[in-house]
Amino acid sequence: MAQRLQAAKRAAAVRGELRTPLPVGYVHDAQGAVVVDPDAEVAAAIGDLFVAFAACGSAYEVVAAFAGRRFPLRAYGGVWAGQLRWGRLSHARVLGVLQNPCYAGAYVHGRYTCTRRVDPDGTVHAGLVERPRSEWPVLIRDHHQGYLGWSDYLANEAKLAGNRTNTGARPPREGSALCQGIIACGSCGKPMRTAAVRDSRPNTSKRGLPTGWRQGGWSSTRTRHASWTSKRASTSSALTCADTGVGVGPASC
């Protein structure tokens, strides 16, 4: 019986007829079709998010653009199940919207798969893992009206991937520094990162400094910590090697 039910669900998904929870900005009409939310404020918020990302190219900048403006959220589960709520737009929410193919008018089934891991003591850990697009069992483009086209969705996906410095990407950064995001360690070749230094006793305590600090300051082959000699509590930044943690330069070239 269970196998027949699962087969029926898969067949309905292949036809694009399997009804699943929709992301905020979409609702099911009386015939069960996926349509844009008739609430003008909801639709405008979703559309403005994509416009803002197209203009600035950064999820964090989108969050800044929505400062002081509420953003809709559709609750799933719990006492708020199915209800529309409003709150502050977070970075995670921006990524969730930009990476959801439903907003590009696509119907997708099997985007995530369940994984299980058993520890030596018998404890079972289960979780969801996103499959690569090539492994999605069902992908139907132009299934419903989208907030953007499929090509725009792919362009946004590529732009987000290019912004992820933890995977090796080195996009141009904002600010007056010319070398942000492109400086590499001269010893190991690893990319550099900024490290904030905080200490309430700058003249006596060296706690919190990157590992490149030695008694008497940075060595001659390393940069001096510019603001560490300040007589009042301060916060300063230095570049440290992502691999060794050794400081090798000021945060702003």
Domain at 73, CATH number: 3.90.1750.20
Token pair in block for residue 202: 């700058």
Strand (E) or helix (H) holding 43: helix 40-56
| Percent of the chain topping pLDDT 90 | 41
Q: Is the pLDDT of residue 110 over 70?
A: yes
The answer for residues whose C-beta is within 8 angstroms of residue 134's C-beta and 6 or more apart is none
Asked if residue 50 and residue 143 are part of one domain, the reply reads: yes
Q: Is the pLDDT of residue 135 over 80?
A: yes
* Overall average pLDDT of the 177-185 stretch: 66
Q: How many domains does the chain have?
A: 2
Beginning with the edge strand found earlier in the chain, give each strand of the sheet holding 247-250 in spatial order. Answer: 192-199, 234-241, 247-250
Instruction: Tell which wins on pLDDT, 95 or 211.
Output: 95
CA 63 – CA 66 distance, rounded (Å): 5
State residue 184's pLDDT score. 73
* Torsion sign over Cα 67, 68, 74, 75: positive
Asked if residue 188 and residue 81 are part of one domain, the reply reads: no
Asked if residue 234 and residue 131 are part of one domain, the reply reads: no
Asked if residue 242 and residue 157 are part of one domain, the reply reads: no
Tell me the whole-structure pTM to 2 decimals. Answer: 0.68
Query: Lowest mean pLDDT: which of 41-50, 128-137, 227-236, 239-248?
Result: 227-236
Enumerate the H helices of 57-164 as residue ranges: 59-65, 91-98, 150-163
Asked if residue 144 and residue 124 are part of one domain, the reply reads: yes
Q: Is the pLDDT of residue 213 over 50?
A: no
Asked if residue 208 and residue 123 are part of one domain, the reply reads: no
Q: Is the pLDDT of residue 49 over 80?
A: yes
State residue 9's pLDDT score. 86
Asked if residue 153 and residue 189 are part of one domain, the reply reads: no
Residue with tokens 């058993």: 118
223, 231 in Cβ contact below 8 A? no
Asked if residue 187 and residue 156 are part of one domain, the reply reads: no
Last residue of a domain, one of 128, 163, 198: 163
Full domain range(s) for residue 187? 172-253
Last residue of a domain, one of 119, 145, 163: 163
Highest mean pLDDT among 13-22, 147-156, 165-174, 228-237: 147-156
Asked if residue 178 and residue 157 are part of one domain, the reply reads: no
Confidence of residue 53 (pLDDT cuts 50, 70, 90): very high
State residue 223's pLDDT score. 41
Asked if residue 154 and residue 60 are part of one domain, the reply reads: yes
Asked if residue 186 and residue 104 are part of one domain, the reply reads: no
Last residue of a domain, one of 117, 137, 163: 163
Asked if residue 128 and residue 236 are part of one domain, the reply reads: no
